[in-house]
Amino acid sequence: MADFIPKRNPELHGWLTSLKQNLPEHAADFELTPARLAEVMALVEAHLEAITLVGHKKAEWKAAAAIKRLQSRTTLATLRKEIARWKTASGAGNGGLAALRLSATLPAVDADNLQPELIATVTGGHVRLRFKKRGAKDVNLYVRSGAKAEWRLLSRASRSPYVDQTPPAVPGQPELREYHAVGVVHDREIGRRSDIVSVTFAG
């Protein structure tokens, strides 16, 4: 159902401004006492001030965010170059790198329970495989056509999505394809395979 009160702040501000300007003239039409009119006008004025304040804060936030982006491009780039020089210094191995947190650390991987996520969709004449590695460096993608077929390694992938452009075994004939993914760390498969996902693909 349509609402006469606008939702977005710009339109709401205009609506409230009109109410503020025109209500006193029509107060008697709506049987508003002077006291009640004053209460309504106070509510309207308070809301107008709130909308204006939000607008100012948004402008301030955008300005601050722009300054931070500029600062990131200059400060962080300069620091990277400077720290790269530090790492070549003769005393770099004396504990300073660790104390200043200047070395990247990879999160610990639960090798037994790591399980990638996999979603398969047919689009544009191919199968698109979107995956989440869940801590693995890469994933091995496996495919089979038909529930009784053998799984075969389709590819190793590090970035999602992976596009399977393999044509159907029989051109134009739809075939059931199943896929699953297995996490890979240091060239070794670890954890549990993903849930099996399936699509019907005709090319």
Q: Please give the chain's pLDDT, 203 residues, in tens.
A: 578 999 999 999 999 999 999 999 999 999 999 999 999 999 999 999 999 999 999 999 999 999 999 999 899 899 989 999 999 999 888 888 889 888 876 667 788 889 999 999 999 889 999 999 998 999 999 999 976 789 999 999 999 999 999 999 888 889 999 999 999 998 999 999 999 999 999 87
Query: What DSSP element (H or E) covers 13?
Result: helix 9-26
**Domains of the chain by range and CATH?**
1-103 (no CATH), 117-201 (2.60.40.10)
SS3 162: strand
Length of the chain: 203
CB 135 within 8 A of CB 117: no
d(CA 160, CA 121): 13
